[in-house]
Every structure is written in C-alpha cells, then in structure tokens.
Structure 1
C-alpha cells in the first residue's frame, strides 16, 4: 500500500522528503507526493502551460502555482533518485480535503506531513491541518515539526 507525503512549496517540505527517504524502503513502499494549492488562487486545477493573458492578468497566482509545480517535481525527482517508485499529484483544493481524499482513494497505509507551530489561542480558533487530518483518517500520520 502506498504512503502519502503531503507537501507545500515552502522549504519546510524538504524534511518531509528526508523523513520518507530515511524510514521508507524502495521497492516496498510506493510513494505518492501530494501538493494542494488553494483553489481561490489557482490559475489551473492541475499543472498546465500559462497563456500570455493569464501571465498578464494573474502574475502572482501564476508565479505561486509555478513555484508549487517546481516543488512537486523536485520532491518526486529526489525520491525517484533514491530508488523509490513515486508519483506526484497537484490539486486545487483545501489541504485537509485533498489529503483525506487522496489517502482514501489510494488506500494509503501512512501519511507523512508537516506541522506548523501555533499558539494555544491559534490552535483553539483554527486547529492545524495535521490535527484536522488526524481526526479524519484511519491510518497513522507521521508529523514532522517545522524547523525554526
């Protein structure tokens, strides 16, 4: 059964890839890297070429999406170079929904994801993505704290 690695386009994703390389075994664990981008800022729902008009009208959104596409490609390439069978998927969806849906769709046995540090008040007002995922899935979730 596959293992899902949920990343974003930030430098905090690198430790997640390192964690997968350290604890998963090539040939035994197929890996699926998932990157969810906020649908309100997505130019395309999936990686695609940008028209001149899109680049002119939505430069920040195009740049953000291109950054996400490069981060996903780099993560997949790094894992493949380490000998893993690995696929990447970028979706325009809220992260919690995307992670839960992909986990169920693939029948994943484990989720590897990051965690951002929130204050107690912040956690009360809006629990972290990792907390929300843990509450909604029936598989183990390996959470890697964000570096300082």
Structure 2
C-alpha cells in the first residue's frame, strides 16, 4: 500500500517549489500524496470551495478573493501532481496552519510532511515562531522543509 505523504501549501508562489520537491523525491508507485491548504479563519467565507453570492462579495470582498486564491492554488497543485502520475487528494480547512497540518498528518498516519519555511530574522522568530518549527515540535514523523526562494 502506498505511504501517505502530506504536502502543506499556501497560496503563495513558494507552493510551486513544494510541489516540485514532492515530484522529485516521491514516487507515484510508492506514495499517495495529500495536499493541504489551511486558510486563515478570518478569510474563510465557506468551510469548503464554493461560489460566492453577490451579497457575500459585497460584504466580504477581501475574504472572497483570498479564499478563491487559495482554492485555485489547491486545484493547481493537485492537477500538477496528477499529471505526474500521483494518486492525490486535497483538503482546504479554515484554521491555524500548524494545528491543521498536525491534525491531518495524524489522521492520515503520514510517513512524511513536506512544507515551506519563511526566512525571518531572530527578532521575527521570537515574535512569531515559524509554522514549520511548531509542526516539527508536535509530530513524530519526518518533516521535509523547503526554504522560500
């Protein structure tokens, strides 16, 4: 049975590097890939991909735009991986990224987590510890971290 690997992306251009990394180091015959995108609850208009009513667009334009950007990033990542021959599933959840990543990795009993990393100053890290560091501290599986370009 293929081992599940979790790829945690966001809607930034750095997500492309994560997908490329997974394509390079994973094998379609040995790994089942799960792409997860956690969207900030502030910008979560719906719990899942949906169309937006005119009323929602008028009341929450930034949230609708942010969620649509996230949905497109998730769809593109899955399409790219499927084109490469991977069995791939995806999920978008509203919540704190580290909580969503840890919960999904545990639910899937993942063999590996692939995620990105922002370059922050020491002060930046002190004020806002990185999501990858928070995940690494909470899981018992390897975490492959790809630095942002």
Bin for the TM-score computed over the shorter chain? over 0.9
**Whole-angstrom distance in 2 between the partners of 1:40 and 1:90:** 14
Segments ≥4 residues shifted beyond 6 Å: none
**Whole-angstrom distance in 2 between the partners of 1:124 and 1:53:** 40
Q: Say whether the 8 Å CA contact 2:6–2:105 is kept in structure 1.
A: yes
Residue aligning to 2:139: 137
Cα deviation, residue 125, structure 1? 2.2
RMSD over equivalenced CA pairs, Å: 0.7
How does the TM-score come out when normalised to structure 1? 0.97
Residue aligning to 1:126: 128
Structure 2 unmatched runs, 5+ = none
Residue aligning to 2:83: 81
Cα deviation, residue 96, structure 1? 0.3
**Whole-angstrom distance in 1 between the partners of 2:124 and 2:62:** 27
Q: Does 1:28 align with 2:12?
A: no
Total equivalences in the alignment: 147
Residues 41-120 of structure 1: matches in 2 within 5 Å? 41-120=43-122
Structure 1 unmatched runs, 5+ = none
Moved more, 94-103 or 56-65: 56-65
**Whole-angstrom distance in 2 between the partners of 1:58 and 1:52:** 10
**Whole-angstrom distance in 1 between the partners of 2:32 and 2:64:** 31
1:46-88 Cα offsets, whole Å, 9 max, x none, are 1112111101111111011001000000000000000000011
2:34 alignment partner, SS class: strand
**Whole-angstrom distance in 1 between the partners of 2:110 and 2:51:** 30
1:71-109 Cα offsets, whole Å, 9 max, x none, are 000000000000000011000010000000000011111
**Whole-angstrom distance in 1 between the partners of 2:61 and 2:127:** 32
**Whole-angstrom distance in 2 between the partners of 1:127 and 1:38:** 16
Moved more, 47-56 or 86-95: 47-56
